[in-house]
Amino acid sequence: MLFINFHKVAKVLLADGWQEVKLTADGKSTFDADDTDAHWFDATGNAQIYCPVTSILAVMVKEQAQAQPLYSGGQRVTASADAPFTTGKSDDAFLTTK
């Protein structure tokens, strides 16, 4: 039995390298597995990949940060789950918080 939250799997490591997993519109992974087989859609959504569970070396799980408004120096800073402190426009800044 696998103790992985399949809805959060973002990448799968196979012998030929990391494979990106397509996410649904609500951010859930298309990855699924049982005791013997695994399958998911590739990042483009054009191909569905099937493999034996034993060929998976690792999975990368995407954690969703909670977006919370933060205040710094009197300016509002918006938290983002996708960007660890990057700046957009001159007055925008994004932080990842967990």
Q: Are residues 71 and 57 in the same domain?
A: no
pLDDT category at 75 given cuts 50, 70, 90 is: low
SS3 of 73, please? Answer: coil
What residues contact residue 94 under an 8 Å CB cut-off, 6+ apart?
Answer: 77, 78, 79, 80, 83, 85, 86, 87, 88
Q: What is the pLDDT of residue 73?
A: 52
Do 75 and 44 share a structural domain? no
Report yes or no on whether pTM surpasses 0.85: no
pLDDT digits (tens, 9 = 90+) for 13-37: 999 999 999 999 888 999 999 889 9
Residue 4 predicted with pLDDT over 60: yes
Helices (H) and strands (E) in the chain, counts: 0, 10
Question: Does residue 3 have a pLDDT over 90?
Answer: no
Distances (CA, A) of 88 to 41, 80, 83: 31, 12, 10
Q: Are residues 40 and 73 in the same domain?
A: no
Expressed as residue numbers, the domain containing 72 is: 65-98
Same domain, 57 and 73: no
Q: Does residue 24 fall inside a structural domain?
A: yes
Residue 1 covered by a domain: no
Same domain, 12 and 46: yes
Residues 25 and 56 in one domain: yes
